[in-house]
Structures are given as structure tokens and as C-alpha cells.
Amino acid sequence: MIISTFVCKRIWAMRGGVSHLQQQHYFSTQPASRLAGKVAVITGAASGIGKASAAEFIRHGAKVILADVHHELGKATADELGPAATFVGCDVSQEPHVAAAVDLAVAKHGHLDIMFNNAGVAGSLAMSITDLDLADFDRTMAINARSVVAGIKHAARVMVPRRAGCILCTASIAGVLGGITPLVYSVSKAAVLGAARSAAAELSKHGVRVNCISPHALPTPFGINAVKKMTAEEDVRRVKEMIEATGELEGTKCEVEDAVNAAVYLASDEAKYISGHNLVVDGGFTACKYLRFPPP
């Protein structure tokens, strides 16, 4: 039987005879603890979705290993987030680096509960396949797709013996629909979706969950730089407006917090029976395609 939070609040208030303001204060002051005692590794954690996820994981009680190729930025982020954060240099295109980040989590905290494969690059963003540089294609696939497979592999290595764990992967709506971004990025994110589904099928019998998060375009430094490359627009404020204007859901916009909230949910025990799923955070963008009738 599922009882909503609203109903619980009403029952609690009636039994205790407290005012609406008192119950509001009670629930607003309860500590966040959805990830209490959990240990996470987040790649690409020095900025953007990775940094925001690390901060929220820590707020919910987790210890986090911040793995990133940008050493100075990563160290500064770890200092900012406090003692629950530990930075490790990590070039995710190098499998030994990914393995070392996982091993650090186990050595420092005794186990690994959450592996968040989040690091990625936009690639050259060649607008036509006829202009595609296959060397750039290989580099982009190594960082966006191969690294996810490495992350799943080494997380599974330490999670399977414990018969528990959660592996998350940052994909994209570009992996769901063609034509949203240039080919290289789209292919790399479609590969992430395939890797997660395949791994979920194998690892379910070991109690390990694997899921993806596919956000809409976001005005993070990553997203802003990518749109600047694609449009030649240099005004950051204008670029942010362009990104936000691509949204489908009226009255709101996609923000980093939306992707982070999805990650917290999927990493928590609230999602204990969700695996092999791609949680699309796009305000319905990929749910429809309109018919464009010509004028009569």
C-alpha cells in the first residue's frame, strides 16, 4: 500500500494536533538522507552535472570520489564540497584510470555503492557526415562510450561480489532521436544506452542495477561551448537563451537540478527495482513529432 507524503503529513498533524506551520517546519527541517552511508564514484565531477550531482549526493549522506581529467578544477571542487569529497585525477579514455578510481573508493571507504559514468565531450561537432573526421570520431567514442563500458566493467568487478550496487550513465536525448546533434555525439550517446541495457540484462542476476539519464540540452559550460561551436554565437547570455528556447514544456525550463534529482532518485533505494531504464528528462521533447501541414 502506497501512502503519499501529503497523506502522511495530514495524519501526523491530526494525531499530534499541530498547526500547518508546525508541520511545514517539521518536514522542511528533516535532514536529507536518501543516500546515507553510500559510497559513489562520479566521473566528470569537476563541473556541470557531475559537480552538482556530487554536491547533492553528499547532501544526502554519501561519500563521493570525484574523478576528472581537470586536476586543478577537480581539487578545488573537492575542497569546496568538504571532507565527504575526494578528488582523483582520471582520464576516462584510459581504462586503468577508471579502475583506479573504483579501487580508491573501495580502499578509502570499504565498498562502492554507486558508479556514475558522467564524463563526456562534444567532439568536433561536424555538421555533416561528409565532413566527419574519423580520428575525432574515435576520440569521442573513447571518452563518451568506451569509458562508460570501462566504468560499468570495473564497478561490476567490486559490486558483483557484494550482490548490490547501482551504476548510472549520462546519456542524452541525442541518443534517442536522430538529428538533434551532429552524428558523432549522437552515436556515442546511443552507444551508452545500448551498453547500459546490455549490462543491466547481465548484472540483474547479481543484484546490480544499471540505468541511464538522458537530459535535454542544458546551459552548463559543456552545453554552452557546444552550442557556440555549432552556431558561431559568442554571447554567452544569448547562447543560454537559445538553449532554453529549445524546450518543449511551457512554463518551465530544463535545469541542471532536474538531471541531478533524477540521479539521486535512481541511486537511492527508492529505485531499488528499476534497472535497464533510460530516464528521459526533457519535458516531453522526445515524446512527439508534430505534423507540419502546408498552407492551403
pLDDT digits (tens, 9 = 90+) for 88-125: 999 999 999 999 999 999 999 999 999 999 999 998 88
- The more confident residue out of 233 and 53 is 53
The partner residues of 211 in beta bridges, in order of sequence, read 168
| Among the four given CATH numbers 1.10.238.10, 3.40.50.720, 3.40.640.10, 3.40.605.10, the one describing domain 28-217+255-282 | 3.40.50.720
User: Active-site residue among 26, 185, 265, 290?
Assistant: 185
- 176 band by pLDDT with thresholds 50, 70 and 90: very high
Burial level of 277, CB count in 10 A (0-12/13-18/19+)? middle
- 262 band by pLDDT with thresholds 50, 70 and 90: very high
Nearest to 171 by CA among 117, 123, 210, 224: 117
- Give the CA distances from residue 109 to residues 63, 102, 113, 117, in Å, rounded to whole numbers and listed in that order: 8, 11, 10, 19
Average pLDDT over residues 178-197: 95
- Which residue has cell 514544456? 249
What pLDDT does residue 124 have? 86
Rounded to two decimals, the pTM is 0.86
Percent of the chain with pLDDT over 90: 72
For the chain, the structural domain boundaries read: 28-217+255-282
Q: Is it the case that residue 141 has pLDDT exceeding 80?
A: yes
Burial level of 147, CB count in 10 A (0-12/13-18/19+)? buried
- Which residue has cell 564514484? 41
Q: Which helix (H) or strand (E) holds 27?
A: helix 20-28
- Give the CA distances from residue 13 to residues 4, 7, 27, 96, in Å, rounded to whole numbers and listed in that order: 14, 10, 11, 54
**Would you tell me the crossing angle of helices 183-203 and 147-159 to the nearest 10 degrees?**
20
Task: Determine whether 273 is an active site residue.
Answer: no
Q: Is it the case that residue 5 has pLDDT exceeding 50?
A: no
What pLDDT does residue 214 have? 97
Mean pLDDT of the chain: 89
Average pLDDT over residues 243-251: 89
The x, y and z cell numbers of residue 176, run together, are 534517442
> Is residue 176 classed as helix, strand or coil in its secondary structure?
coil
- The more confident residue out of 80 and 23 is 80
